Amino acid sequence: MMTFGQPNKTPQRRGHAVFASWRDALVASAVKPWIMHGVSATRMAPPRCSSDLRQSRRRYDEAPVITCQLDKLAEERCKAWGTDRHKQMCQWQKNRRESKLRHLTDLTIDLRPNDLRRHTMQLISSRSTTLCRIVTTLAFSCFAWHHFANIASGQNSGSPGGGFTVETIDHGVSVKCDGKLWANYIADGEFKPYVWPIIGPTDQPVTREWPMGEGAGEKHDHPHQKSMWFTHGNVNGVDFWAEGAGRGRIVHRKFLTVSGGEKAVIVAQNDWLLADGTKILEDLRKLVFSRLGEHRVIDFNIRLTATADSVTFGDTKEGTFGLRVAESMAVDAKKGGRIVNSEGQTDAEAWGKKAKWVDYSGPVGDQIVGIAVLNHPSSFRFPTYWHVRTYGLFAANPFGWHDFVGRSDVSGAYTLGKGQSITFGYRVILHKGRAEEAKIAEAFEQYAAQSAEEIP
């Protein structure tokens, strides 16, 4: 009986090259499954105890049984072809040393335990290195593809951060940037849609929490002043500003656009209903969330269209595009709150005045932050009057003339015929520091030079 690894005494005959090729293929196909079983079963993880080692040794000891069977087959073929076994094995051993067992078939000739253990580990090491290189290459390729795709689509370019997402939540949608919450648009509020919370550049809320939540030291007044909203106190004689029985309601109909990317965009359609459910007005509003340097920006544009035969916006100070700043920012809190407008008027002086923009700043936590509201030149009755109070109300109102001017002989009322529209445009800038540090005057000039966000 002969085994592979021992010289064969069979004399050399013609055709030995053909036999060698045939033999290698035969042995590889017969032994390869056994080797792969041995690799997966015994060599993928080293033995951790003596019993594991003995079990591994038993697997190696089974090798001669297989090689013996193969030797018989090879001996018969050797006799048939007259191959010089000894010369073939010497040549094969030389080739094996040179090739470093780079191919699996090199393992199929000598199945002695020590050689198998050593060569199997070499093979695993070689293939692990190759696999590592493949994984690294694929990871780099995916990163490069994602990076250049973002550049091509305009994401993460021109401003820090980027990466806006808009996700559906209960009652509306949530806007996030770089995975951090910026704001929630609450579409189905009981009396109107509103934006809450609004997170500023220090990652703290900059508008009042109550009545939706509870903020430290907040007063429980004016429950209709919900963070950021758009309504009016007199529409065909019905109060849409306050809330309660007999008041008007703004009801969300549907979203037309909800998208993220370089900016977050929300477009929603709403119906203005009287207390009895009669529809008199509809609005189409577009909110765009973006960055301006370190500032956080919310562009709010809205178009109101009469659906009744005649819709009149009455002259009242209770309106229209409003915010309620965080309690700590209010001037009346006496913690450093400050109001300033484009005309240089401050605090209580700014109430009831026309201005291109107004900034309300004060402490939130241990930092000074501010909210600036800019009125776009294309907006209805630019520059608007401002209903901004030292207790924290911050609203733009183009209708309340007789209250703001203090004269009964003037009226800011305005009537729309059926199908007619008016459009309002505002930019809300959330910034660190005071208006001067945030360069709000320059930001307004930049905003005014741009076309207002187009409403579909």
As a whole number, mean pLDDT of residues 142-163 equals 43
What is the tens place of the pLDDT at every residue in 181-225? Answer: 999 999 999 999 999 999 999 999 999 999 999 887 888 999 999
- 36 pLDDT more than 80: no
DSSP string, 143-181: HHHHHHHHHHHTTT-SSSS--EEEEEETTEEEEEETTEE
300 vs 4, which has greater pLDDT? Answer: 300
- For residue 38, the model assigns a pLDDT of 43
CATH number of 164-449: 2.70.98
**Cβ neighbours of residue 225 under 8 Å, at least 6 residues apart?**
208, 322, 324, 393
User: Residue 414: which H helix or E strand, with range?
Assistant: strand 414-417
CA distances from 133 to 117, 130, 138, 307, 390 (A): 25, 5, 9, 66, 65
pLDDT for 215 equals 83
Average pLDDT over residues 361-374: 98
Q: Does the pLDDT value for residue 48 go beyond 90?
A: no
Where along the chain do its domains lie? 16-127, 164-449
Mean pLDDT of 5-17: 43
The reported pLDDT for the residue numbered 454 is 74
Task: Kindly report the backbone phi and psi dihedral angles of residue 375, in degrees, each rounded to the nearest multiple of 5, phi listed first.
Answer: -100, 120
> Per-residue pLDDT averaged across 313-342, rounded?
98
Does 408 have pLDDT greater than 60? yes
Burial state string for 102-134 with b = 16 or more CB within 10 A and e = fewer than 16: eebbbbbbbbeeebbbebbeebeeeeeeeeeee
pLDDT at position 188: 93
Residues 282-317: tens digit of each pLDDT:
999 999 999 999 999 999 999 999 999 999 999 999
The pLDDT assigned to 451 comes to 86
Beta carbons of 390 and 339 less than 8 angstroms apart = yes
CA distance between the termini of the chain: 90
Annotate 193-204 with b (16+ C-beta within 10 A) or e (fewer): bbbbbbbbbeee
Q: Residue 50's pLDDT is what?
A: 47
Amino acid 452: pLDDT: 76
CA dihedral 117, 120, 122, 128 (to 10 degrees): -140
Range name among 20-34, 172-186, 196-210, 264-278 with the lowest pLDDT average? 20-34
pLDDT of 149 above 70: no
With residue 449 as reference, give the H or E element that holds it: helix 440-449
Using one digit for the tens of pLDDT, what is the confidence trace for 321-330? 999 999 999 9
pLDDT at position 228, please?
99
Give the span between the Cα atoms of 62 and 31, in whole angstroms. Answer: 12
What does the pLDDT read at residue 88?
60
pLDDT at residue 195, as a whole number: 99
Q: pLDDT at residue 131 above 60?
A: no
- Residue 438's region, left for phi above 0, alpha for psi from -120 to 50, else beta, is alpha
Rg (CA), the chain: 40
Cβ burial, residue 285 (10 Å; 0-12/13-18/19+): buried
Provide the 10 A C-beta neighbour count for residue 432.
17
* Distance between CA atoms of residues 397 and 228, nearest Å: 14
pLDDT attached to residue 90: 55
Instruction: Say if residue 392's pLDDT is above 90.
Output: yes
Q: Is the pLDDT assigned to residue 99 strictly greater than 80? A: no
Tokens of 87: 């010369």
- Cα–Cα distance, 168 to 179 (Å, whole number): 14
Q: What is the mean pLDDT of the chain?
A: 79
41-45, 85-89, 183-187: least confident range:
41-45
Q: 199 φ, ψ to 5°?
A: -100, 130
According to the model, what pLDDT value does residue 224 have?
Answer: 97
- pTM for the structure as a whole: 0.66
Whether the per-residue pLDDT at 8 is higher than 90: the answer is: no
| Higher-pLDDT residue of 63, 434 | 434
Which of 392, 42, 434, 53 is closest to 220 using CA atoms? 392
Distance CA 351, CA 14 (A): 112
Q: What is the reported pLDDT for 23?
A: 47
Residue 281 near residue 235, CB atoms below 8 Å: yes
Percent of the chain with pLDDT over 70: 64
Q: Strand runs (DSSP E) across 241-366, as ranges?
A: 249-259, 264-273, 279-292, 295-306, 310-313, 319-324, 338-341, 357-364
CA distance 255 to 454: 16
* 248 pLDDT above the threshold of 80: yes
pLDDT of residue 45 exceeding 50: no
Is the pLDDT at 443 greater than 90, yes or no? yes
Tell me the C-alpha to C-alpha distance, in Å, between residue 7 and each of 28, 34, 92, 260, 456. 20, 24, 11, 74, 88
Per the model's pLDDT, the better-predicted residue between 158 and 199 turns out to be 199
Q: Is the predicted pLDDT of residue 130 greater than 70, yes or no?
A: no
